[in-house]
Structure 1
Amino acid sequence: MRVIDPPGPQGMAQRPEPPAGETAGGRPGTLASLVTLIRPLHAAKSLLLVPIALADAGTWTLTALGEVGWAVAGFVLAGACVYVGNDIADRDRDRAHPTKRHRPIAAGHVSVRAGYLYCTALLALLGVLVGFGPGRPYWPLLAYLVLNVAYSRSLKHIPLIDVCAVALGFALRVVQGSVAIGERVSGWLLVTVFSVSLLLVIGKRRQELLETGAAHRPALRGYSVELANQLLQLTCVLTAVAGLIYLSTEAPLGPYGQAAMLLCTPFALFALFRYLQVVLVQGGGGDPVRAVLRDRGLAATGLALAVVLGTTLVLARHPALAEAILR
């Protein structure tokens, strides 16, 4: 496996850097641009993944909820720092992309100097949050930041390693949630989260191949649409198998694990089928967060899965209620 060297500034459409605090048109940067820069919609990643650890908690105490909430806030801030840093590093390549050229730094709505100051302020806020937070370790969050520095500098230029690095960042969110409440993280749950994340990232790479090729992302020289299609199929199988094994073995569902596995199977398969349809037929998947949150089929299936799992979890934790309902 070889590292794909990123293209230099030659041959790419360049714009002069706007003065600090000004846009390309001479207008001062706006609060809206700063908010857009941290991609608030992507906070859903932390809001959905970090609290998964509560499913393995014996009881939901206010202390546990508070510690998970603190961990969510930490990862939201860490993600914001990563987005700002990546947009600064990738601003030249982003200007050659049909969609990413509208990002605040690439478009000149936020200057590079302002971006650095913004990222520094976010890191300082993150340091305060960790320093004054609960006494739980924050090594998964630190590992996430180190991983993303390595990703920005080199890993994103290595085909196959790039998608695995991104997926690992999602799994670290789940680990942080488990560390926050002092629970052992489930191995099969981590495999499931990692494989789902890998599926979304591969779908994104496939769409980038179709839209811009390797001009924007040098690592795409190590991919092809056919390879992406094969990887999507392989990852779908891993996702389905890992998720169903988790439900039937390690999930805290007591005697209802097998029932949950059977009830979730059709919904899980439909969700995977629908995602493949969105990517392979409809040409979606370029923005995984929007694809998942805004597609009605995926949203409805996700809600159905949440209802099934939530119901079985309640029944497993309250045997008397289960006996009254099922007898």
Structure 2
Amino acid sequence: MWEHSRKAILVNRSEKQIRDWSARFDVEKAFVPEHATSWRDWAKALRIHQWSKNLLIAVPFLAGHHFHTWWQLAGILTAFLAMSLCASATYLWNDLLDTDFDRAHRTKSKRLVASGRTSVPRVLAASGSMMAAGLAGAFLLKPAFALVLVGYVIVTLSYSLHFKRVPLADIFLLAFLYLSRVIAGLVVSEAKMSFWLFSFTFLLFLSLAAVKRFVEVARTDDDGVLVPGRGYFSGDLQLLSELGTGTGIASVVVLGLYSNSEQVVALYRNPEWFWGVCLVAFYWICRTWMLTRRGEMHDDPVVFALKDRTTWCLGLIAIVCVLLARPL
């Protein structure tokens, strides 16, 4: 077709493709995107900052005081990378599914897919490659971990395709996705599942999921109108606030009960210092929800925690308390 055409017009092609086609055909015009994609654009699309969530894989490793077991440490690092690759792949799939909603959003319209700065085939190729690499690494590490990772991907897809539009179910699924990282860590480290760890993490993650949804619903101006792509009305803010605050405080209560349990006495020489961790967690939960109600919370509480200086200071205080408790 091009050989018999008098002119060729190229749209959204790379510089190399433009040079190649110009040498073969009479290119009249080449439309190049105003904002070509860069590695920073892809880093944002892949949610590299969200990889910090996968550090939860190490929680069972640390809670069980497996500090001197090198093979478990190597397994944790491999599992972290495998889950991070699969998570980034699902983020790209979610962007493809949410393209229409993202284009109408104040900040999400700037995403790589929603802004049209890259093609769908390129996104599918990138996500497919990362998913394949992540699952392959998981199976090589441990088949049981690979099954957990497959379950994580299935739940993520079910959330993106349907459950994110089902009120309350979306929050519980988000909390489960956080919890699945802890479960993956248990499988890799071969540590025992603790009732305390399960209860604390699930309640805490349920509170953070409520924060995320509260921020989205609070930015809806029209009363009585569903939030685009979600199953909430603006009138549901009170429920989300009460649910998130209640589960956050409940997680601190669980942590306090754990601080007085036989497990802590067996793991620490000075277990009374562990109460300092409880106070830090209680303050952080209250502050997080205060900022959320004031409209000062980021779209993603994870991004907020990574950038918030107070959170880093509180984390340092909690680490000092754990060290003063003198782990055995």
Distance 1:154 1:222, change over 3 A: farther
Q: 1:280 aligns with which of 290, 293, 305?
A: 293
- Aligned residue identity for 2:306: L
**Residue 143 (structure 1) aligned with residue 151 (structure 2):** yes
- Aligned residue identity for 2:96: I
Q: Deviations over 1:271-291 (max 9, x none)?
A: 122112221225314221121
Q: 1:160 aligns with which of 168, 171, 177?
A: 168
Quote the offset at 1:20 in angstroms: 8.1
- Aligned residue identity for 1:68: I
**Residue 263 (structure 1) aligned with residue 276 (structure 2):** yes
Counterparts of 1:275-314 in structure 2, within 5 Å, are 275-312=288-325
Contact 2:175/2:205 (CA < 8 Å) preserved in 1? yes
Quote the offset at 1:102 in angstroms: 0.6
* Residue matched to 1:316: 327
Contact 1:46/1:76 (CA < 8 Å) preserved in 2? yes
- Aligned residue identity for 2:87: G
- Aligned residue identity for 1:188: W
* Residue matched to 1:51: 58
**Residue 89 (structure 1) aligned with residue 97 (structure 2):** yes
CA RMSD, aligned part only? 2.5
Quote the offset at 1:154 in angstroms: 1.2
**Residue 238 (structure 1) aligned with residue 250 (structure 2):** yes
Distance 1:135 1:228, change over 3 A: closer
Q: Deviations over 1:230-276 (max 9, x none)?
A: 11221122111122223333755525575144222322221122112
Which is greater in Rg? 2
- Give structure 1 stretches of 5+ with no counterpart: 1-17, 318-327
Quote the offset at 1:84 in angstroms: 0.7
* Residue matched to 2:136: 128
* Residue matched to 2:238: 226
In the superposition, the TM-score normalised over structure 2's length comes to 0.82
SS in 2 for 1:106: coil
Quote the offset at 1:87 in angstroms: 0.5
SS in 1 for 2:191: coil
- Give structure 2 stretches of 5+ with no counterpart: 1-10, 16-30
Tell me: higher relative CO, structure 1 or 2? Use CA pairs within 8 A at least 6 residues apart. 1
Contact 1:88/1:105 (CA < 8 Å) preserved in 2? yes
Q: 1: CA distance between counterparts of 2:37 and 2:66?
A: 48
SS in 1 for 2:327: helix
Quote the offset at 1:86 in angstroms: 0.5
Q: 2: CA distance between counterparts of 1:288 and 1:93?
A: 21
